Structure 1
């Protein structure tokens, strides 16, 4: 599956639009990780626990969007965008969306 955050994929031609596809996941933080990250944040530097959580969350949302695009018969998704929102105290949603298309070599 080809993904692009612009309207086209270089070297490819869009031959069919399948519509919007989405993927999302809601994650809650674990309080022990919060405590450890707060302590690390006090001294500065990267908060690797949060970086890993965000990376894993992004990959899961992307995978769900790609699976939806595949079910529609697409081989690419263009105009991919991410959005986040707070669902409740300590949990957030990561939402990804784009346009599922079929592309061929230009």
Structure 2
């Protein structure tokens, strides 16, 4: 299986960027689940981490990353550098998670 490197850094130690292909991106919008929303509301009264939302956001980040990787592969990349995440509320009860970075071709030095 071919290795695909994804990093938040601009450079990958031991590799050189031989071609920049452009911005790779992936995102997802997720709505809160009414059952989890009730549990989260109760947990909010007591204070502490709202695990239901933490889990939802973690799953959303993974989906966004996988979609970003797929987009980069379609561009012909074997790595993504400078990865960043963005979140935003786009409607009542709906959050967007967006991952983006620079799709590149790298080679061992």
TM-score range, shorter chain: over 0.9
Question: Structure 2-normalised TM-score?
Answer: 0.91
- Counterpart for residue 9 of structure 1: 12
Tell me, which stretches of 5 or more residues in structure 1 are unaligned?
none
Give CA deviations for 1:9-47 in whole Å, capped at 9, x if unaligned: 122111111111110100000122111012122223322
- Counterpart for residue 42 of structure 1: 45
Match of 1:19 among 19, 22, 36: 22
Distance 1:93 1:43 in 2: 27
Tell me, which stretches of 5 or more residues in structure 2 are unaligned?
none
Distance 1:52 1:85 in 2: 17
| Dislocated runs of 4+, deviation >6 Å | none
What is the aligned residue count?
106
- Counterpart for residue 97 of structure 1: 100
Distance 1:87 1:12 in 2: 38
